[in-house]
Structure 1
């Protein structure tokens, strides 16, 4: 076995975030070392304060292993926390990306059980916990993580990802070898992928702007699903198991008063845990309910003056919440900063986002998040953000609309509703789409259609070239929703609101929002923590019935839990998100650039899409007769990705 500290010429502490990668398969020692070095180099922007590799060479018929790690030192800045980290007897070695917020409690449990420690790092706690409790340790972890554990005696590799998928992990496998990494571009860097398009991932992307579940848009690349474990043992195919899903939660009865008091305590504990760090921690403050809640509670627990950051989108027509953010910052005495973000050089920005995701990503909200973290001071390594609040507390309008799902099904069964209606305004078209989604025949289809802006199946399929339509019809863009809904108990499936809440935690959070957060921020070497997804908090809130969360107003329980601390402008103000004017861009500064990419000759776009239908889509949007901006933006990002990574159909 071999450890090597690598020096790629980076200035100490200039790069941040953590990344892991590895190879298991037949290879010489030198080939393993080359692979590990390449993987570490490809992950340098996720760190490091240090770069290290671990090699366990092939022995007879046993495969060889290479582990690579790039390190951001948040806890225990000494070399005792360096990775990959091996047990004292060299039996187990771990490469781990993440933060464990209950590591001190688990460490004490393990000490009481006779385990010995040589560092103060949470990595050693994770390693010792997995040795002591086995796979059951994963359910004990309160934090975010993606990890690889090597059992040298059994020649077995185990990969695992946290329950909500906050930290990413991708892999590719054939009969000879498995390669994994925090990012797809790392797999490409060691020529582990053949760059063919996944039709299943592509079909999902056209509806949702991203692939779902284990799918990616590369045919031979899989994403380890949130809350899952993958084990590869000699002579066996990979075994994929789930260690957590929301259906393990038992719905409990609480009075509103009990729930509000418990939520307040769990929130306070969560924020306190998420502030543990040996480096400064900041907070993204939008002025909305979620970030303002974090600001209020973090200000109570943070040692020193909390630094908060808001964004000013100059030149954007989107609504600004700067005034509310200023009010909240003043209320809690934070060191407040307003970062000015401009959308200059859009073409370069889109190229950066394509590289950061290594896949097309259809949500333009990743752009302001990237620009925001780009402007943070170098001293800020860790930032708190409010993701997860909407999904666990019920913050979206669709949750309240689902109260009428059964009525909508009856309305949609009428012959008139089965026809495509020529509706004159975008508001009517959106209302018609939402009504049909709410009235979908199956639970899974209803959940899926509420999460896509596409007006119907014809609007998607008519864009596809004739030779490809038959192949695509063999796939189901809603397959992941079918998989998730089928695992849920009848009492949840019979409650459309509860079903949507739990489904969003399995699909929308890991596959969309948390992917957006990780890629957009890690590209600028910033670690984002999400206190709303704390294990103890989510265990409690997800056990509460949907009606208790949604009665009176969205996020009813969260608003009441924070009623004595937050200003009325936050508690009763409207909900806004990052308003990215991509629709305006496509009719203005991006128009020529987008048209050139969409209609390029001899490209994958020409092979996949019907050119006449694509032209109609473009003309309708440019003339203003229809708003097809979201589809055009998705197609533009797909075209940039296919060109950037030389993707082929076959």
Structure 2
């Protein structure tokens, strides 16, 4: 409306429909009459451009290639500056971590039970419902007491401290564990602002150290200027000051959705949330299997890793172990390629 011309919009689509938001992007594009560009990405196309994407990094990241691909297509369409929605989930409670932390706070009485009893409950949960969520809950129940920093980090870590220690030949030096870094931030807030505390943790960790860094590097690799309007400091200060009841009365990003009543139809608002994730689960077991297998075997020979542990994790993923998802594997593949290059 402000531009006075058709805005260009971009979306990456996949043949694997479960991972593709193409139909939703088309719906919004038609509704607002944008000049829409749909980028169809296949595993073969991805592999063709992956070396160039990794070459653009000064820090290995499993998320980086996603942004590199869409930045490339945007620049090739003649765009020099683009807007990103990065920060919307972190600020307006869009991630699953927000209601999860709220539930954990309501369950604090559990940590008054004896540790042996809590550990037994955790083991029972894992045996009845094996998977990442159960394993994390069991780990939380084994904490000596409940505290926000440890609960948040354990809920958000891809690999637990124990798993990391099991992969490495040398322990991480003091100050390198996520919980140690988070505790140094010293966020203070009332019980009304738990979600703001989660927002602050998200912005100080995953968003700052991964998403913003990747977005900057991957867009500038194509001389594309990327702008993140949700990161306006006045907007952040205002939203963080609001109580939880306004930001998340029952559904995620309620405050943001209500501010755009005529722009977002219910078809879009009420659909299941999807992140900007490639079909890694399928690709790593099929088209990317050989590529990943070769690099993980190479990483397994690196002196920083315990012999056989990387391949054990890879094997568990290929066998369908619900505790080992693509997010445990793909970053290791990227790390191997980054070290090699």
What TM-score do the two structures reach when normalised by structure 2? 0.85
Aligned residue number for residue 8 of structure 2: 307
CA-based RMSD: 2.7
Q: 1:357 aligns with which of 34, 57, 63?
A: 57
1:462/1:613 contact within 8 Å kept: yes
2:82/2:224 contact within 8 Å kept: yes
The 5 Å alignment of 1:394-473 reads 394-411=93-110, 413=113, 414-418=115-119, 421=123, 423=126, 428-436=130-138, 441-454=146-159, 456-465=160-169, 468-469=170-171, 472=172
Q: Distance between the aligned counterparts of 2:304 and 2:154, measured in 1?
A: 23
Aligned residue number for residue 81 of structure 2: 382
1:356/1:520 contact within 8 Å kept: yes
Return closer, same or farther for 1:501/1:565 CA change in 2, 3 Å cut-off. Answer: same
Return closer, same or farther for 1:374/1:387 CA change in 2, 3 Å cut-off. Answer: same
1:519 aligns to 2:220 (yes or no)? no
Task: Give SS of 1:462's match.
Answer: helix
Task: Give SS of 1:362's match.
Answer: coil
Aligned residue number for residue 624 of structure 1: 320
Q: 1:614 aligns with which of 310, 317, 320?
A: 310
Larger-Rg structure: 1
2:283/2:289 contact within 8 Å kept: yes
1:617/1:628 contact within 8 Å kept: no
Which segments of 5 or more consecutive residues in structure 1 lack a partner in the other structure? 1-299, 645-650
1:535 aligns to 2:245 (yes or no)? no
Alpha-carbon deviation of 1:613?
2.4
Aligned residue number for residue 293 of structure 2: 595
Q: Distance between the aligned counterparts of 1:310 and 1:380, measured in 2?
A: 14
2:193/2:242 contact within 8 Å kept: no
Q: Distance between the aligned counterparts of 1:590 and 1:535, measured in 2?
A: 41
1:341/1:368 contact within 8 Å kept: no
Aligned residue number for residue 333 of structure 1: 33
Which segments of 5 or more consecutive residues in structure 2 lack a partner in the other structure? none
Task: Give SS of 1:450's match.
Answer: helix
Aligned residue number for residue 634 of structure 1: 331
The 5 Å alignment of 1:27-46 reads none
Q: 2:188 aligns with which of 482, 489, 495?
A: 489
Task: Give SS of 1:599's match.
Answer: helix
Q: Distance between the aligned counterparts of 1:437 and 1:512, measured in 2?
A: 25
Structure number with the bigger relative contact order (C-alpha 8 A, sep ≥ 6) is: 2
Alpha-carbon deviation of 1:342?
2.4
Q: Which structure shows the bigger proportion of residues in helix conformation? A: 2
What TM-score do the two structures reach when normalised by structure 1? 0.47
Q: Distance between the aligned counterparts of 2:230 and 2:255, measured in 1?
A: 14
2:19/2:278 contact within 8 Å kept: no
